[in-house]
A = this chain, B = another copy of it.
Amino acid sequence: MRNTIQRQLVLDAVRELKDHPTADEVYQHIASTNPSVSRATVYRNLKQLSESGEIKLRRISGSAERYDHIQTNHYHARCIKCGAICDLELPYLDHLEESVRDNSGFKLFGHDLTFYGLCKECAAKAEEKTEGKKQ
């Protein structure tokens, strides 16, 4: 793996953006200062960096793939209305795989768990609407 400026830009962007950005968010961030960097390069580097373990790929159901500078396992919630993604505080279910009764012969390595619901803002708006109808 070669040490290119593009790779460094990608790594820095993921770290700066913090909030598990999508590939496109990473690209936009980089493009704002380095417009010559191509989208394909961003995608390729995100994939490589996550495979080498420098960043973490997060598969969040209902959303594009995301990349996280944080390595520790934790879960996320997705707002079904605005798409916001939020870290949750829930102990990681470390040994969930072991409790699967495996009639299928699958060799399990891990799991992806995503909660869904309404974020604070969208829940508030929904509340407003309901109130409006009552009156």
Q: Are B116 and A110 in contact (CB under 8 A)?
A: yes
The residues in A between 88 and 130 inclusive whose CB is less than 8 angstroms from any CB of B are 88-90, 96-97, 99-120, 123
17 residue pairs A–B, Cβ–Cβ below 8 Å: A59-B61, A62-B112, A77-B108, A79-B106, A86-B104, A88-B100, A88-B102, A89-B100, A89-B101, A96-B115, A106-B117, A107-B117, A108-B116, A111-B114, A112-B114, A112-B116, A113-B113
* Copies of this subunit: 2
Residues of chain A whose beta carbon lies under 8 Å from any beta carbon of chain B:
59-62, 75, 77, 79-80, 86-90, 96-97, 99-120, 123
Chain B residues, Cβ within 8 Å of A109? 80, 116-118
Bound Cα distance from A61 to B60, whole angstroms: 7
Which 9 residue pairs spanning A and B have beta carbons closest together? Answer: A105-B120, A108-B117, A61-B112, A59-B61, A89-B101, A86-B104, A107-B123, A107-B118, A109-B117
